[in-house]
Structure 1
Amino acid sequence: MAGAVDLSVLKERAEAQRAAASRPASDSRPGAVVLDVTELDFETEIVERSTRQLVVVDLWASWSEPSTQLSPVLARLAEAAGGRWALARVDVDTNPRIAQAFGAQSVPTVIALIGGRPVAMFEGPQPEEQIRGWIDEIFAKAGHLLPETPATAADDEPEQDPRMAAAEELMNSGDLDGALAAYRAIAELDPDNVEAKSVVRNLEFVTRAQAHDPEIVNTAAPGDVDAQLAAADVLLLGQRPEAAFDRIIELVKVTRDDDRTRARARLLELFELFDPAEPFVTAARRKLATALY
């Protein structure tokens, strides 16, 4: 809808009326989510507000039964949204220029604005669930145009666990052994702490891999389980996951019983260091299945 309506005439009219009436600044109602807007405050309460949050404009008339049915539904949804978006109700009988600016042909007409521009609209009454879906779709497609408020960002950020902060400080200082011990203690006391468990897995791997002689990659015998597992660690530490996984998969192919079980367990352990959706992890899982069966 961008560019389809001309809002400049309303802006000029509103500015002139505001100057004449000397309207106090406190009347802008920044915290309100349901507003009754006139031509006088159109610029402030609809256009300017839409640069900070989604504004849904309800063009209605008291003589229109569909309007009187739809308006309470929109108000209820706006209140339930908790400030995520604001509803601006406009009586077209007393504010005809607003309806003209939007090119409304009937009432009720509902227009969504972001950044001072209309982004979506519908006419006539709609079921509540359909309106909710309509608003969600607007946020999905155009929500990135709205600024993120510092208050919202702060509210969304969880408070850091002091134990995790202390363990992270040890890790950042280079004390991997101390950090590993700290993260292990957290994981034991808090089994649901996924982050602590993940860091433990990573630190255990790094500590083990750094203890190997890098030359093991070239000297490991094909059937030597310890040597091949060590070689895989070195390859993975060197950012070569495909080569590391292939080493262990070949080991699975040439070993039996306990050695084979050990190789398979190590490969599954290394998989946990990565996102399971990584293409090289998915490919290695397929190769492992083929090697086993």
Structure 2
Amino acid sequence: MNSRDNPFAGQSGGYDISFGAQPPAAREPAAPAAANGGSDLIKDTTTAGFTADVIQESRKQTVLVDFWAPWCGPCKQLTPVLEKVVREARGAVKLVKMNIDDHPSIAGQLGIQSIPAVIAFRDGRPLDGFMGALPESQVREFIKKVGGKAPDPLEEALEQAAEALAAGDRDTAAAIYGSVLEAVPGNAVAVGGLAGLMLDAGDVDAARELLSEVPADEKEPPELASVRARIALAEEVSAIGDPRQLVHRLETDPQDHDARFDLALIQNAQGDRMEAADNLLHIVRADRSWRDDGARAQLLKFFEAWGMTDPATLSARRRLSSLLFS
């Protein structure tokens, strides 16, 4: 699916254009333009373009190849039915049409002896097919069987945002989350992602306001749970004093667990996750009974806020397990 098919695309043509996605690979010069006014779902191909248009494309999704000829009456009956049902499938399959009068070699290699013939390709190989002008209901059943579930534009947009965020492209991620929320207000994953970016920028109030649009839910996505935990931690930090005084207290008394605990909260708020974990683990190692195992409990809150796959979470969790079970 591209930006033209995706309802979450912006006015400029969608996030895959506006946010610097790489353009698709150039096609064979001899391949004709798409037959349906530019839609990527339906196009004509040539012998030279078959590998790119069918074999390579079928590694992404199922591609139907319609072998036809201008003199074939049943072909003229089948083609509009095929195109209609492919469009209705909204991206579950793509349709590539090949005129066997102009390009006979592929049909010959596949052993096609009569037309119309439709062959479904998946993962670069023929999957299934039929011959003759089937009625619309049977064409629809065939596409349902070989096509599977159509791509979900909302899921694709959120995946694009997550990939941009993982790559450090915060502007792109924020723009995609914003587009999703325009189309689906209150989407929990988009709210969590955008609110997290607001927290990264230090705007706790804006993140809190955005989060208020989504009621708390036991089944809320991890993105949202993480943001709620980060906001709670930020509120705790706001009540803590000057970190320099805490450092001075620790220099005077390394066993001042209250100072070390508060310093860990500040370090986390400043993005120093490893240092925050070090201080809490120091308390766990020294005195599990302090505040009823409060250092370990706070460390678990950090894990929730950081996310289960964050490097700081993984490292600190291993060290905590070593302390608890060795």
TM bucket by the smaller chain?
Answer: 0.5 to 0.7
Q: Does the residue aligned with 1:235 lie in a helix, a strand or coil? A: helix
- Residue identity matched to 2:242: D
- Residue identity matched to 2:101: P
**Does structure 2 retain, via aligned residues, the 8 Å contact 1:109–1:122?**
no
**Does structure 2 retain, via aligned residues, the 8 Å contact 1:225–1:259?**
no
1:207 positional shift = 3.5
Structure 1 residues 76 and 261: CA distance shift in structure 2, 3 A:
farther
Q: Match of 1:270? A: 302
1:59 aligns with 2:45: no
1:209 aligns with 2:213: no
* Correspondence 1:1-293 to 2 at 5 A: 8=30, 29-30=36-37, 56-59=64-67, 78=86, 81-90=89-98, 95-100=100-105, 104=109, 106-107=111-112, 110=119, 120=124, 122=126, 125=129, 131-132=146-147, 158-161=183-186, 176=204, 182=209, 189-191=215-217, 194=221, 197-210=225-238, 211-215=240-244, 216-220=246-250, 221-293=253-325
- Residue identity matched to 2:231: L
Structure 1 residues 155 and 100: CA distance shift in structure 2, 3 A:
farther
- Residue identity matched to 2:230: N
Q: In percent, how many aligned pairs have the same letter?
A: 20
1:202 positional shift = 1.8
- Residue identity matched to 2:265: D
Distance (whole Å) between structure 2 residues aligned to residue 89 and residue 268 of structure 1: 57
Q: Does the residue aligned with 2:243 lie in a helix, a strand or coil? A: coil
**Does structure 2 retain, via aligned residues, the 8 Å contact 1:236–1:244?**
yes
Distance (whole Å) between structure 2 residues aligned to residue 198 and residue 273 of structure 1: 4
Structure 1 residues 203 and 97: CA distance shift in structure 2, 3 A:
same
**Does structure 2 retain, via aligned residues, the 8 Å contact 1:110–1:123?**
yes
Runs of 5+ unmatched residues, structure 2: 1-26, 70-78, 131-141, 152-159, 161-177
1:266 positional shift = 0.8
After TM superposition, where is structure 1 displaced by more than 6 Å over at least 4 residues in a row? Answer: 31-35, 74-77, 126-130, 153-157, 170-175
Structure 1 residues 234 and 181: CA distance shift in structure 2, 3 A:
closer
Distance (whole Å) between structure 1 residues aligned to residue 284 and residue 247 of structure 2: 17
Distance (whole Å) between structure 1 residues aligned to residue 266 and residue 259 of structure 2: 11
Instruction: Mark the structure with the bigger radius of gyration.
Output: 1
Q: Does the residue aligned with 1:257 lie in a helix, a strand or coil? A: coil
1:282 positional shift = 1.1
Q: Does the residue aligned with 1:259 lie in a helix, a strand or coil? A: coil
Runs of 5+ unmatched residues, structure 1: 16-27, 62-70, 113-118, 137-143, 145-152
Distance (whole Å) between structure 2 residues aligned to residue 30 and residue 229 of structure 1: 64
**Does structure 2 retain, via aligned residues, the 8 Å contact 1:214–1:234?**
yes
Structure 1 residues 97 and 256: CA distance shift in structure 2, 3 A:
closer
**Does structure 2 retain, via aligned residues, the 8 Å contact 1:183–1:197?**
no
**Does structure 2 retain, via aligned residues, the 8 Å contact 1:232–1:247?**
yes
Structure 1 residues 185 and 272: CA distance shift in structure 2, 3 A:
same
Structure 1 residues 228 and 56: CA distance shift in structure 2, 3 A:
same
Q: Count residues with an aligned counterpart.
A: 224
**Structure 1 residues 62-99: Cα deviation after superposition (integer angstroms, max 9, x where no partner):** xxxxxxxxx9xx88984663245442455x6xx42222
**Does structure 2 retain, via aligned residues, the 8 Å contact 1:78–1:86?**
yes
Query: Structure 1 or 2: larger helix share?
Result: 1
Structure 1 residues 171 and 100: CA distance shift in structure 2, 3 A:
closer
TM-score (normalizing by structure 1): 0.52
1:111 positional shift = 8.1
Structure 1 residues 172 and 159: CA distance shift in structure 2, 3 A:
farther
Distance (whole Å) between structure 1 residues aligned to residue 91 and residue 323 of structure 2: 56
